[in-house]
Amino acid sequence: MASMENPDQTKSGDEEKHVTRKLGGLKTMPFVISNETFEKVASFGLLPNMILYLTNEYHMSIATGANVLFIWSAISNFMPILGAFLSDSFLGRFLVIALGTVTSLIGMSLLWLTAVFPQARPPHCDSPMTESCVKANSAQLAHLFGSFVLMSIGAGGIRPCSLAFGADQLYDPSNPKNKRVMQSFFNWYYASVGLAIMISITVIVYIQDKAGWVVGFGVPVGLMFISTVMFLLGSPLYIKLMPNKSLFTSFAQVTEAAWNNRDLVLPPMESGGAIWYFHKGSKLITPTEKLRFLNKACMIRSPEDIDMDGRALNPWNLCTVKQVEELKALIKVLPIWSSGIIIAVTISQQSFPVLQANSMDRHLIPGGLKIPAGSFGVFAMITLTIWVAAYDRIVVPLLSKFTKRSQGLSLKERMGFGLIISCVATAVAGLVESKRRAAAIRQGLADNPYGVVHMSAMWLVPQHCLIGLAEGLNAIGQIEFYYSQFPKSMASIGVALFTLGMAVGNLIGSLIVSILNKVTKTHGRVSWVSNSLNKGHYDYYYWLLTALSVINVFYYLLCIWAFGSTENGNKVEWDEGDGMEDELEADDHAKGKGSPIVFPH
């Protein structure tokens, strides 16, 4: 428990109602959002051109470079699970974000050094796609991959906690408009991130193209330094909720307790024959019917299960109703979470669109501004940002008149529409690549991987816009959905579920590329993902993604049907800042005010 001398200091999740409004609020938003914004500008500014850095400077094949980036992205998206665990169970969100920010700064600095010192890279090679060039040695690869790992660890501290940390600053259950405030916060926060990514894949990529890798990697290091300073400057203003238990330990206790009590017979819920274990003041005094087997973990077998103070003698044999419901909440969302993996593969297409744009006419108008190949992803971010702003201010008010729901589309509807649009996006990408490849062959560029096709790269814009719209619907819907299903004590884990889905999607994407490269080049054939886009069949690759995405839509419909059909009557009212006590005060026990559990009479 936090010290009572200073009520404005750090509080645990169960004490947050005692935090005065002198802390948090809108005044903290510049510091919180600037941290996320500068981190996104810095980190995402490195990604678009990285395939060119790996193929041109480290002499990797396209397939190898793409797999390196898929795996790097996967690690970056897996690490938030560790960050969420440390945040929600031990360190709190503020400290995890601060440590992650510093670690990212160190990782970016190491990557910058690979560009500064020629010894950190293989000897220069003019045509790595057609010549046999010297490959990077073990020390050079260790330096490069070490910088990637440190940046991934840093992302693991920032990404699962930043959004939830910002929500902590604004959460005010006494405000009747708080639900609408939180919805706007989610939308505008995501829009600010989209704006940051737009800047990173235009300005940073342009600097890399025009000024080279030393300056191009140095600018993100400077931005990450600003991100670190800004976040730490706001420290005196933040509400810093600290965890008061290990959620992962709690989940393990519920699982073991349910297994240890597997021989218990659960009475019908309506009979009231069971005695459930819960803490004093908790709203959760009876478990829900869903996943009923786990209810055995909180069922009291005899008075000998608890001590004189009303505490469980063995928390691995008897858990509270709240612990059981927290684990249920996590299990219930997993099927819907899994439906987001395939769209994560689509969203994570970073390498191939850059190589396609690099082989096309990238002038915005004939003879005018030439767009960097890595900057075409900005069209996805522009679409996402416009959609978020329009949805929040235009679409929701219009839809609410017809649906009678203040949030417009339901979260499930938003996620579903996002999945459908992602199918269209990959189909369009396949059609455009088929047209580009045919044009290259007609123009005699089949054997020239460096040739520029007489076809405008603006043909790539529709697929990027569709991906941005799909992400704006599905990604934001996912994050809000997890946040709505979990108590605030699990908020970071809820947000981390989205990044975990992205991580699995990255690994699936890497696996698809590896399998296609191995299978399609057998018997002397040219690989679909060949080093030469004009000889390969990247259009077939996009059609394969389209087929998987269509199957995934039907899988999602099955998941929401199962979730909805079993959710009725099982709505959980979480203990949110209600002063629930985990233990008795000494004077309460002396005055006979009862124990943390209640036996029905």
What are the CA-CA distances from residue 379 to residues 155, 196, 201, 424, 450 (Å)?
A: 24, 13, 10, 16, 25
In this structure, the number of other CB atoms found within 10 A of the CB of residue 571 comes to 7
Residue 174's φ and ψ, nearest 5 degrees, are: -75, -15
**Are the CB atoms for 483 and 494 separated by under 8 Å?**
yes
pLDDT computed for residue 3 by the predictor = 35
- CATH architecture for residues 26-237: Up-down Bundle (1.20)
Question: Comparing C-alpha atoms, which of 425, 514, 420 is closest to residue 74?
Answer: 514
pLDDT computed for residue 570 by the predictor = 52
CATH class, range 326-563 = mainly alpha
Tokens 């008061």 found at: 244
Low-confidence ranges of the chain (pLDDT < 50): 1-20, 566-569, 578-601
- Token pair belonging to 94: 């503020």
Do the domains 26-237 and 326-563 sit in the same CATH topology, yes or no? yes
pLDDT computed for residue 483 by the predictor = 80
Q: What is the pTM of this model?
A: 0.73
Question: What residue segments make up the domains of the chain, in order of their start?
Answer: 26-237, 247-319, 326-563
Tokens 């006979």 found at: 592
pLDDT computed for residue 14 by the predictor = 43
pLDDT computed for residue 7 by the predictor = 36
pLDDT computed for residue 590 by the predictor = 29
Helix 138-170 × helix 491-520 angle, to 10°: 150
